[in-house]
Amino acid sequence: MKIRIKLLAHYQQYLPPDCSSSSYETEVPPDARVEDVLAGLPVPLEESVVLVNGRTPQPGQVLREGDVLCLFPAIGGG
């Protein structure tokens, strides 16, 4: 199934080279868990905020077709 990976702030350096927006589509196995997909990303997870469709995922949450998995660094400020 297809989901979107969205990377914000300086995580945009981890976007694929041909990606012109903040997100890209990717294929994951059906019933993939959030943790499974995160493990394959080159992002320092311990310093990251992870969201699925804008909300904090539950531990072990299973992804669904069309979900947006968003990561950005824990920074703060505004």
Partner 1 sequence: MYGWNGRILRVNLTTGETSVEEVDPRMARDFIGGRGWAIRYLYDEMDPQVDPLSPENKLVFATGPLTATPVPTGNRYMVVTKSPLTGALSCSNSGGFFPTEMKRTGFDLFIFEGRAERPVYLWVNDDRVEIRPADHVWGRTVFETEDMLRAETDPRARVACIGPAGERLAPIAAILNEKHRAAARSGVGAVMGSKNLKAVVVRGTRRVPLAHPKELKALADQVVEEVKQAVAAGKATLRTYGTAYVPPVTNEVGILPTYNFRTGVFAGAEAISGRTLNQKYLIRPKACYGCPIACGRVTRVEDPVFGGEGEGPEYETIGSLGSACGVDNLAAITKANYICNELGLDTISAGVTIACAMEMYELGLIPESDIGRPLRFGDGEAVVEMVRLAGLREGFGDLIAQGSYRLASHYGHPEYSMSAKKQEFPAYDPRGAKGMGLLYATSNIGASHMAGDTAYMEVFGVPKKVDPLSWEDKPRLVKYFEDIFTIIDAAGLCVFLSIRYLFEPTYNVEPVRISRLMEYATGAGYDEETLLKAGERVYNLERMFLVRAGFSRADDTLPPRMLHEPMPEGPAKGHVVELDRMLPEYYRLRGWDENGVPTPEKRAELGLP
Cα dist from 8 to 43, 45, 60, whole Å = 11, 14, 23
SS3 61: coil
Structure tokens at 41: 């990303």
- The span from the CA of 35 to the CA of 40, in Å, is 9
Per-residue interface string for the shown chain with partner 1, residues 38-77, x marking contact by CB under 8 A? ---------xxx-x-xxxx-------------x-xxxxxx
Size of the site for partner 1 (CB under 8 A): 24
Q: How far is the CB of 62 from partner 1 (least distance, A)?
A: 18
Residue with smaller CB distance to partner 1, 6 or 28: 6
Query: Is 19 a binder of partner 1 (CB under 8 A)?
Result: no
